[in-house]
Chain A
């Protein structure tokens, strides 16, 4: 392991998120690295979500429309709606949930600072971004395949578009183990006798995080979308 590879730069964090999540956890735990890690993890998460939503916008604008999907045209400002809705909504939901995450952590007996909780949450967001970037080619290929084969009338096409709408959200939930591991790491800093007793609480904590984020994220996305419809 190169010493310079552990610096929380954007490139290093991208590589660590892909190949060595344990190193991201080490960076997140390291107090002097936290400010840079927070910024770069947010940028990484935003990059993935923005890329996905930009491509999804193009798909929504160019592929045959379905009734339930709001109209999007690349030529007018409405094209920015999905991009901004996902980017602002997903990160905004995290911002709303952050104080609760912190207090849940305290309730579970974990000795964590607010910044550390923010860093752990943003690690999960960065992972979401990376997962979305990974899924994107597969999704585009599936949609293109349906369009080329002319199978855009059936239920499968609608289901695929719906999957596209929900994918960032599902990717967000799949990042939950990151939060779980992050909090387990914090528990390891407690004395052994207490740590053993706290482990089940961390599982509950992860569940509470998931439940909270699952509730807040769609509401935030909806609120951002409604406001953007007024502006754009």
Chain B
């Protein structure tokens, strides 16, 4: 039993030390808890220290290549990808704005919460943040929907070479896509 205990403590020391190095501000806490309860903290060691950077978005350029290879060419898909690009740019911009506003609000919150008048300002700013978040989520959803529709259209375009019903299905799909694009951009010819 002593041997097992020694092994447990040794592993605990290693885990505790590793966690202390990761977060030196709470080194003593990590070391103490790490030695005692290292099985719970072991997964922490294998998790990334900071959120992994998002992989570069290759999906749209890959999709563009696929669309360009289609024969006959389908201009609706090119227009849809352009629209998806614009939506993504807008969404990224909103994301950045949201982060800045959130950080600013977190900083101002204690001061704004002090009096009745400033609390109103605080509530208004929170409501603005909520609205921003909702618009960003909506844009994200729209972007996903558009790219999914383009992917679906590419598959249908390949199938359309083999059967008449598949060609009809593709036509319907492109009509639906055009409708959606004209909703997003009234200048769209569809």
Given A38-B44, A114-B43 in contact, is the A4-B29 Cβ separation under 8 Å?
no
Binding site for A on B (CB under 8 A): 1, 5, 23, 26, 29-30, 33, 36-44, 46-47, 50-51, 102, 105-106, 109-110, 113, 126, 129
**Chain A residues whose CB sits within 8 angstroms of the CB of B102 once the complex forms:** 3
* Cross-chain contact B43 with A96 (CB below 8 angstroms): no
Q: Does A113 contact B (CB under 8 A)?
A: yes
* Cross-chain contact B126 with A35 (CB below 8 angstroms): no
Given A35-B47, A42-B33 in contact, is the A98-B40 Cβ separation under 8 Å?
yes
Task: List 19 extra interface pairs beyond A32-B51, A113-B43, CB under 8 A.
Answer: A1-B126, A2-B109, A2-B126, A3-B105, A3-B109, A4-B106, A4-B109, A4-B110, A38-B40, A39-B26, A39-B30, A39-B33, A91-B36, A92-B37, A98-B43, A113-B47, A114-B43, A115-B46, A227-B1
CB < 8 Å: which of B40, B47, B113 contacts A42? B40
Dominant SS among interface residues on chain A:
helix
**Chain A residues whose CB sits within 8 angstroms of the CB of B129 once the complex forms:** 3
Q: Does A34 contact B (CB under 8 A)?
A: yes
* Cross-chain contact B43 with A91 (CB below 8 angstroms): no
* Cross-chain contact B105 with A91 (CB below 8 angstroms): no
Given A3-B105, A4-B106, A96-B39 in contact, is the A115-B44 Cβ separation under 8 Å?
yes
**Chain A residues whose CB sits within 8 angstroms of the CB of B47 once the complex forms:** 31, 34-35, 113, 115
8 shortest interchain CB distances as A-B pairs: A95-B39, A114-B43, A115-B43, A3-B106, A115-B47, A32-B51, A118-B43, A95-B40
Q: Does A110 contact B (CB under 8 A)?
A: no
Binding site for B on A (CB under 8 A): 1-4, 31-32, 34-35, 38-39, 42-43, 88, 91-92, 94-96, 98, 113-115, 117-118, 121-122, 227
Q: How far is the CB of A110 from chain B (nearest CB, A)?
A: 15
Q: How far is the CB of B137 from chain A (nearest CB, A)?
A: 15
How far apart are the CA atoms of A121 and B47 in the complex, in Å? Answer: 17
**Chain A residues whose CB sits within 8 angstroms of the CB of B50 once the complex forms:** 32
How far apart are the CA atoms of A27 and B75 in the complex, in Å? Answer: 44
How far apart are the CA atoms of A35 and B30 in the complex, in Å? Answer: 11
Most central of A4, A31, A35 by chain B CB within 10 Å: A35
* Cross-chain contact B106 with A118 (CB below 8 angstroms): no
**Chain B residues whose CB sits within 8 angstroms of the CB of A121 once the complex forms:** 40
**Chain B residues whose CB sits within 8 angstroms of the CB of A32 once the complex forms:** 50-51
* Cross-chain contact B126 with A38 (CB below 8 angstroms): no
Shortest Cβ distance from B26 into A: residue: A39
**Chain A residues whose CB sits within 8 angstroms of the CB of B41 once the complex forms:** 38
* Cross-chain contact B40 with A118 (CB below 8 angstroms): yes
**Chain B residues whose CB sits within 8 angstroms of the CB of A4 once the complex forms:** 106, 109-110
Q: How far is the CB of A102 from chain B (nearest CB, A)?
A: 8
Most central of B33, B40, B51, B126 by chain A CB within 10 Å: B40
Q: How far is the CB of B101 from chain A (nearest CB, A)?
A: 9
**Chain B residues whose CB sits within 8 angstroms of the CB of A43 once the complex forms:** 33
How far apart are the CA atoms of A113 and B40 in the complex, in Å? Answer: 13
Q: How far is the CB of A219 from chain B (nearest CB, A)?
A: 15
